[in-house]
Structure 1
Amino acid sequence: MDPVTAAFDATPRRDFLPRGVRRRASYDGPLGIAAGQTNSQPRTVDDMLRLLDVRVGQRVLDVGSGSGWTTALLAHLVGSTGSVLGVELEPVLVTFGSANLAGARRPWATIRQADPDVLGDPGGAPYDRILVSAMAESLPQALVDQLADDGVLVVPVDGVMLRVTNPGAVVTAHGHYRFVPLR
């Protein structure tokens, strides 16, 4: 089994949804979680994780961690020798996502409150991989700057999924997607 499929099998979406939405966990579309945010469509998350190409032992930043599902999936991919930091602006989702992540028992992953004036985690950079689960209007240079020399950033920008690789910030486009706005 490939690593992304194994991560999905080990991290049921249902466990990261509000109680009233869990019956719809198998729906391949976004589901509302709180504060106007969504738990992303599974097919989209699968696409993003495959583009990100996460490896065991890497340091990963999850921007817009929401329900904690992507943070937990990333934690499965990096294994206990890696680390994942999820950052989330909405306080209610920091609490919800952190509780969900605790249930996944992957202590090498955490979620913390994002600073509304700072994109990502420049103080913790560089990161091997950065996943963004919100739509940017343009390529966020602040996140490109947080990549390690051989790092990869996956971010939806103006409706198109971009994969940015270092060195040189090489950008490739990978289909059209819709997300909540990156703030």
Structure 2
Amino acid sequence: MDRVSAAFAAMPRELFLPSEVRTRASYDGPLQIGHGQTNSQPRTVEDMLRLLDVRPGQRVLDVGSGSGWTTALLAHLTGVTGRVRGVERVPELVTTGSAALERTGQPWATIEAATDGMLGLPRDAPFDRILVSAGAAKLPETLVNQLDSQGVLVIPVDNVMLRVTRSASGDIARSEHGRYSFVPLID
């Protein structure tokens, strides 16, 4: 079993869903988690994680952590030597996502409230990997600036999944990887 499949097996989606939709956890589509937000389609999350290519020991930022599921998956991929920071705009989701994440026994991963008007966690940058689970209208330079050398950012922009990389020399490259729908990114 590859690392992404192992993460999905170790962190089942139903552990991160509200009780009223838990029976639909195997549905390969987005599920409502309240406050106008969704738990993303498993196939989409898998695609994003494969593009992100998280390695053990990396520092990862999860923007729009929602239910906490992607944060938990990322923590499984980084292992105990890594660090995963989730940020979320909706206070109630910070609370429920943090509680679900705590139950996974991965203390190297946390979720905190996002700061109004600020994307990501610039004070804690740089990050080896950044995952954004909300759709942006344009590529946010503020997140690109939080990437470390040889870092990777995966983000849906204008319904197109982008993989943005920073080379060792600091050059930025981007590639497109299909069309996807997401809730809007709020900065």
TM-score band (shorter)? over 0.9
1:180 to 161, 169, 183: 183
**Could you say which residue in structure 1 is the equivalent of 2:40?**
40
**1:32, distance to aligned residue in structure 2 (A):** 0.3
| Counterpart AA for 1:176 | R
CA distance in 1, matches of 2:116, 2:94: 13
Aligned length in residues: 183
- Residue of 163, 174, 183 corresponding to 1:171: 174
**2:61 corresponding residue in structure 1:** 61
Percent identity between the two aligned chains: 67
4+ long deviations beyond 3 Å: none
Alignment of 1:100-111 (within 5 A): 100-111=100-111
Specify every segment of 5 or more residues in structure 2 that has no aligned partner in the other structure, as ranges.
Answer: none
Residues 68-147 of structure 1: pairs in structure 2 closer than 5 A: 68-147=68-147
Q: Distance in 2 between matches of 1:116 and 1:2?
A: 38
SS of structure 2 residue aligned to 1:23: helix
| 1:139 alignment partner, SS class | coil
Paired letter, 1:3: R
Q: Deviations over 1:84-116 (max 9, x none)?
A: 000000000000100000111100000000002
Query: Deviations 1:35-69 (Å, cap 9, x if unpaired)?
Result: 10000000000000000000000000000000000
| Letter matched to residue 155 of structure 2 | V
Distance 2:153 2:65 in 1: 15
Amino acid at match of 1:122: P
Distance 1:155 1:142 in 2: 13
Structure 2 counterpart of 1:14:
14
Q: CA deviation at 1:135?
A: 0.2
Distance (Å, rounded) in 2 between the aligned partners of 1:70 and 1:56: 16
CA RMSD after TM alignment: 0.4
The letter for the 1-side match of 2:85 is: L
Question: What SS class does the counterpart of residue 103 from structure 2 fall into?
Answer: helix
Q: Secondary structure at the match of 1:65?
A: coil
